[in-house]
Amino acid sequence: MGRIRSSGSKMETQFVAILQSLCRQPFSVNDPTVFGKPDVAFCKMKVCIFLDSDFWHGWQYPRWRHLLKSDFWRQKIERNRERDRQVSRKLRQQGWRVVRVWEHNLRNDLESTVTHIAESLFDNTQRRVDI
Mean pLDDT of 69-98: 94
Mean pLDDT of 113-118: 91
pLDDT in tens, 12-31: 999 999 999 998 889 999 99
Measure the CA–CA gap between 69 and 62, rounded to whole angstroms.
14
pTM given for the model: 0.84
Domains and CATH numbers, the chain: 10-121 (3.40.960.10)
How high is the mean pLDDT of the chain? 87
Residue of 107, 118, 102 lying closest to 16 (CA atoms):
118
Measure the CA–CA gap between 109 and 104, rounded to whole angstroms.
9
